[in-house]
Every structure is written in C-alpha cells, then in structure tokens.
C-alpha cells in the first residue's frame, strides 16, 4: 500500500491560512473516530489486507462485540467500508490517507516513548 498524501494546507505559501470551518469539523470528527487503541489496531490490520470480523477478532485478541462496535464507529466516520460476501462482511479502508494518519501517529508515539 503506497501511503503518500497531498496536504491542501501548505505552510510555506500561506502560513496563516486555515481550512474552512466545515473541513476543520470533519477533521476533528475523523481524529475522534481514530482515537481508540482498538480502532487504531483495526486500521493497522486493514492497511495490510481486507478482513472480516472474525479475522479481526483473532488478530487483535478482543471480543467479537467489541470489534463490531469499533467497526461501526469507523464505518460511520467513513474510515472503513464493508462489502457482504455470503454470510460475512469484508472490511477495508476507504483510502490510503487514513493509513497514513495512523502510521504517522504510531511512529510519532514510538519516537516520543524512546525520547
């Protein structure tokens, strides 16, 4: 998965420019949706491959109801989408930007922990 993002905010050309309030609100909603360790783990798992709930349960070592609850939050925030395949729903990330956000946050936390 190629994790490259274009940022619409260029600090070099417009240091005082702010995105529209609606964009800031949507950004806050997205960050809140990602602000739980289980949801971060789900995103990290889904950046490697599409998975169904029972695969996420096995990978994360948490209960099925907990995974389903967190998937509902991520789905409503537009982070993941599910596609029915027989009796299962296969989940995937909506786009690579979301993996980029989580990978950068984990890298930052890892650096801070080592400092």
Check if the beta carbon of residue 79 is closer than 8 Å to that of residue 94: yes
Distances (CA, A) of 37 to 33, 58, 79, 86, 93: 11, 16, 15, 30, 17
Q: For strands 88-93 and 51-52, give the pairing.
A: antiparallel
Which comes out higher in pLDDT, residue 4 or 23? 23
Beta-carbon contacts of 41 under 8 Å, excluding residues fewer than 6 positions away, are 60
Q: Please return the burial class of 30, using the count of CB atoms within 10 Å of its CB with bins 0-12, 13-18 and 19+.
A: middle
Beta-carbon contacts of 63 under 8 Å, excluding residues fewer than 6 positions away, are 57
What is the value of pTM for the model shown?
0.82
Q: Which pLDDT score, from 0 to 100, does residue 4 have?
A: 42
Share of the chain above pLDDT 90, in %: 76
Across the chain, what does the average pLDDT equal? 88
């Amino acid at each position: 998965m190629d994790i490259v993002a274009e940022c619409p905010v260029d600090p070099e050309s417009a240091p005082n420019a702010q995105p529209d309030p609606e964009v800031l609100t949507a950004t806050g909603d997205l960050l809140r949706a990602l602000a739980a360790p289980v949801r971060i783990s789900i995103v990290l798992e889904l950046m490697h491959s599409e998975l169904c709930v029972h695969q996420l349960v096995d990978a994360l070592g948490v209960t099925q109801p907990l995974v389903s609850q967190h998937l509902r939050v991520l789905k409503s925030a537009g982070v993941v989408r599910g596609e029915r395949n027989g009796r299962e729903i296969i989940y995937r990330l909506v786009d690579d930007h979301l993996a980029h956000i989580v990978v950068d946050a984990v890298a930052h936390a890892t650096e801070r922990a080592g400092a």
